[in-house]
Every structure is written in C-alpha cells, then in structure tokens.
Amino acid sequence: MTPRAHSSAASWAGALLALPLLLFLLAAVAWPLAHLVRRAFLEDGEALRQVMAAGRYRTALVNSLALSAAAAVTALLLALGPAWILARERFRGRQLLRTAISLPLTFSGVLVGFLIVVLLGRIGAIPKLIEALTGRQALEGAAYTFGGLFLGYVYFEVPRAVMTLESAFRRFPWELDAAARTLGARGLERMLRIGLPIAAPALRSTLAVTFSASMGSFGVALILSRRFTVAPLEIYTEMTGFLNDEVAGALCLALALCTLTVDRLLALGKRR
Amino acid sequence: MRSGFLRRRLFRRTGIALTALLALALLAPILITAAGAFSRAEWYGQRSEGAEVDSTPKLFRYVLEVWGRALLRSGQIVAVVVPLALLIGAPAAWAFRRLAFPGSRLLEAAALVPLAVPGVALAFSMIQCVQGVPRFWLLAAGHLAYTIPLVVKTVGNAVETFDPRLEDAARSMGAGRLETAARITAPLLLPSLILSALLVFAVSWGEFNVSFLLAPPLLQTFPAALYLTYTTNSFPVAAAATLVFLAPVVPALIAIQALGGEEFHRGLPA
C-alpha cells in the first residue's frame, strides 16, 4: 500500500470509486450471510443443534472436512515437483504443459465427476484397458466408491495447487539457493532444506485455497456419491428434496464456519 | 563438478517428465471424452436417443437442439457478469492502491471473503433472504460474488507494478483527473483488464455450485445442463455436450496463460 493519498479529497474520491463494491458486498454477501446466521439461532438454535448432534448431518460435515483435507494434502504433494519445474526451468513445451495443467481449473464439479466416470465407471476406460490387457475384470464402477470421489477431488485440486505454488516459487529468493549450491548442497537437498522452509507460507495458502474449494464443491459428489455423503450434497437434498430450510441453513452455516476456521488456522503465522 | 552437472541434468529431466506425466493424467479423460464424441464403439452401451444421434453432425445438432436454451442462458449471464465485475472491481482495486481511504484495507479484505464461503451456502442464503429480485439477477449476483475477487486481485497487482509518478507527471502537466485516468491509467491497466475479463469469463462459464441452486429449472445455465446430460443421456451425447462446453474455455485459457494469468489459481469454483 502506497502512502500517497493524504488529502481528504483524494480519500473521498477513493471511497466513491469503491462505493459500488461496498454496496454489492453488503447486498449480495453480507446481508444474506447475516440472515443465515440469524435464522440458524432462531428457536434456540434447534436446527443447529440437530446438525451438530451425532447423525447424518454431522457425518456429512466430518466427511467433508476429512475428504477436503486429504485431497488438499495429496494435491499439494503431487503439485510440488511440477510447480517447482514450471517456475524454475525453461524448456520447450513449458507453456503448453502449464496450459494443459491449468485447463481443469474452469471445470465445474459435475464435469470432473463425469471425467472420473469416463475413467473408472462401470464401462470406464481403465477397467476396459485392464480387461483388454490381462483378460480380467477390475476396478469396474470404482468411480462410485470413496476412492473415485477422492480421485475427483484430487483432480480438480491439483491444477489449483500447481498454479498457486508456481507463482510462489517464482517469487522465491534464488540468491539463497545459489549460495546453498555453492556450498555443495544438491538439488533435492536444496529443495528440502532451503526451498520448503521459505515456501512454507505458500504451502499453507495453497492448502487453504484447495481446501476451501473442495469444501464448497458439490458437483463431484452429485455425480459420484453413493453411500459416502458430503455436506454440500446434504444441503442440496434437504433444500430441494425435503424442503427442510432450517436444517439446510444450519448446515450451510456450519460448513461456512468450518471452512473459514481452517482457512484462518492456515493463515496464522503467515508473514504479511 | 562433472557428476554434479549430470545429476542436475537428471534432476531437471525427471522433473520435466513428471510434470508432463501429470499434465497427461489430467488431459487423458478429456481426450477419451473427445474421442467418444467422434467415434462409435461397442462399449458405449445402450442409446436412448436411437437414430437421432447416429452420426457426429447429428450428435452435435441434437445437443444444440436440446441444450440450446441453457447455452443461451449461460451466454446471457456471461455477457452481464463480465462487464459488471470489471465495472465494480477495477475502480475499487485502483482506489485501494492509489486513493486509500479509511477502511479501504478492510473493504479489500471483505471483497475476497466469498472465496472462502462455500457456493451452496451463499446461494442458499441469497434465496432465503432476497425476495422479489428476478432470478436472473440473483444468479448474476452469485456469479459476481465469486468473480469480483479475481478482478480486484488482478487489477490490484497491475496497479502496484506501474510507477505512480506517471500519473503525477500527467497531473502536473495540466491534465485533469479524468484525462489522466483515460490517457495514462487506463492504457497502463489495459492488459490486466483484459486478463480480468478472461478470468471472469472462464469462471462464470463453468460455475455450477451457485447456478444450480439459484437458477429455476427452466433457466438453468449450461453447466447445470451438463449435469442433466450426464445423468440422462448416452455417452456420445454427454461427450459432445462436454466438447460444446469446452469450446470457448480452451481459447480463453490459452489467452490467459499467454497474458500470464498468475492470479488465476485462487478462488475458482469447483
């Protein structure tokens, strides 16, 4: 932030330029969310208590938390190497690889779910390939198991993780890396002992980005979920299937709070 | 020394190979889907559409016929959301950096909050408390909540990279505020505005979480139509619909990468 605007006229001009944003946020974000909180505490928070008590709703929340956390960590591990390479190395086809990896970023959850079905559905490509190669049937309909759902979440989180990490690695202080190399540290050692500690804040923010994306996603689960349910799917079912707005609202609130809390925890200790 | 060089080369090659492998793994299902729309094979299984889709041109004509309305709806939403997101986000982003006012940091942080709020939760709350607003505008507001943050970030970063003295110089040479904005600021920010527009387009085109709940059944957007296709149509039809969805996204993404879409990663809906 540049400490340039001192005059009150400039201040007013700035506020005027930001006024549409303020009004939009108040009308479309703050007001609805405030309404959600208020409603959740109506009738002594009966609906909220119902959601928090052991049962289907709490299971869905816990499932969402566990699935999102597991997928976020897996995506981070898968993304580390490619992000490092894309940020550091110059080679032919680099731009092509970046574009290919970033492509799934725009996919909605249902599309990702469909792609998993294409790979691992009852007549998916991988089971067909295994059958053609070995003559045995395997992995048919795996898309609809927990494994398939997990794979779907990892699929849409990997591109996010790669892109977030890459831009962090690009701002990386290479002098330190060069110094370590002069002192005889090898590639992998440098990455583990210099790269990772400096990149720790970026790793945390990558986890926050991917985690909150999966907490809110329900397209993947809408296509793939059979027994294993996640919170957004429960919200949708309560809302459209059972017209149970109280429970749906309380679930929304619980889901949003879980997401915001984890994001906050990940942001703790982050510099700046 | 020599072995260090070799090891470094090995490290580099392995890394590039791994990156290519990851890209391939992400692309594989898309390529299979694309192949599905252009070829016939036994393992497609039964077709409910019968002779209507027995050739590739017929397949795409069928998709456009059945989902044309949803496609149109998505086009309308994008046409409204892209300019509005820029109009609301860009001036604010500039003001945050150049004309700071009391509370401007707080407002900037608040603009990014929707990224951490699950789409279903925001959509549900909007339906619950906003009455009397046409659904189309509710839908547009939902899209705006998740796209404005991208504009604020992209334009904010761009404002930081150019020297404020350029604006000061124009002012000291007699240009008014408006003239400075039009002839110095806007041209300097043009690349970031184009990038923002592409980002907003890509996100809005693929948005499902908010749209599926906010749009009434007859006004569904194309990603919601995809859901119906995936659950009711045969594989060739679903594959063709997916390609129709991807057609505008791929060029947009290539353009985004060419413009250096570093802010692309964060906050995209899933």
Q: Is the pTM of this model over 0.95?
A: no
Q: What number of other Cβ atoms are within 10 A of residue B6's Cβ?
A: 10
Does domain B55-264 fall under CATH 1.20.1050.140? My reply is no
- Is a pLDDT exceeding 90 seen at residue B53? no
pLDDT for res B90: 93
Helix intervals (H) in chain B: 2-38, 56-98, 104-112, 119-129, 135-161, 164-172, 177-180, 186-206, 209-214, 222-232, 235-258
Answer whether residue A132 shows pLDDT above 70.
yes
Per DSSP, which regions of chain A are E strands? none
Note whether ipTM > 0.95 here.
no
pLDDT tens digit sequence for B187-223: 888 888 998 999 899 889 988 888 888 888 778 899 9
Grade residue A184 by pLDDT with cuts at 50, 70 and 90: confident
Question: Does A4 reach chain B within 8 Å, measured CB to CB?
Answer: yes
pLDDT at B256 over 60: yes
pLDDT value at residue B47: 55
Q: Where are the domains of chain B?
A: 1-38, 55-264
Kindly state the average pLDDT of the residues A184-211. Answer: 82
* Residue B265 confidence (pLDDT) above 50: no
The CA-to-CA distance between both ends of chain A, in Å, stands at 12
C-alpha span between A160 and A101 (Å, rounded): 9
Provide the pLDDT for residue A264: 83
> Is pLDDT of A187 > 90?
no
Q: Among A141-150, B52-61, B240-249, whose mean pLDDT is lowest?
A: B52-61
- CB contacts, 8 Å: A104 with chain B: 26
* Range in A70-74, A113-117, A145-149, B233-237 the model is least confident about: B233-237
Interface test with A, best of B18, B26, B163, B226 (most A CBs within 10 A): B26
Binning pLDDT at 50, 70 and 90, where does residue B52 land? Answer: low
Inter-residue contact B207 to B269 (CB < 8 Å): yes
Q: What is chain B's percent helix, strand, coil content, to nearest 5?
A: 85, 0, 15
CB contact under 8 A, A249 and B209: no
d(CA A107, CA B248): 12
Least confident of A72-81, B71-80, B128-137: B128-137
pLDDT computed for residue B54 by the predictor = 67
- Give the residue from B43, B125, B245 with the most A CB atoms within 10 Å of its CB, the best one to mutate: B125
Give the model's pLDDT for residue B267.
41
pLDDT value at residue B270: 40
Question: How does pLDDT run across B139-150, given as a tens digit for each residue?
Answer: 999 999 999 999
Structure tokens at A14: 């700035």
Please report residues of A whose CB lies closer than 8 A to that of B12. 85, 89
Q: Who among A10, A35, A125 is closest to B125 (CB)?
A: A35
Min distance B152 CA to chain A CA atoms (Å) = 10
Quick one: pLDDT at residue A68? Answer: 93
pLDDT in tens, A42-100: 777 777 777 777 788 888 889 999 999 999 999 999 998 899 888 888 888 888 898 89
CB-facing half-sphere around the CA of A199: CA atoms within 13 A = 26
Average pLDDT over residues B235-263: 82
CA A258 – CA A51 distance, rounded (Å): 13
Q: What is the DSSP letter of A3?
A: T
Give the minimum alpha-carbon distance from B57 to chain A in angstroms, rounded to a whole number. 22
In the chain, the amino acid numbered A272 is: R
Residue A121's alpha-carbon distances to A148, A155, B23, B229, B246, in angstroms, are 9, 16, 21, 16, 22
Q: Contact A39/B128, CB-based, under 8 Å?
A: yes
Separation of alpha carbons A2 and B98, rounded Å = 7
**For residue B159, is pLDDT > 90?**
no
Q: What average pLDDT does the segment A246-271 reach?
A: 81
Q: pLDDT (tens digit, 9 = 90+) per residue, B36-48?
A: 887 765 545 445 5
Q: B148 to each of A15, B84, B197, how far by Cα in Å? A: 17, 9, 10
Provide the number of CB pairs (under 8 Å) joining chain A to chain B.
Answer: 310
CA A252, A258, A262, A267 torsion: positive or negative?
Answer: positive
Determine the Cα angle at B128 with ends A156 and A43, to 5°: 110
| SS3 state of residue A98 | helix
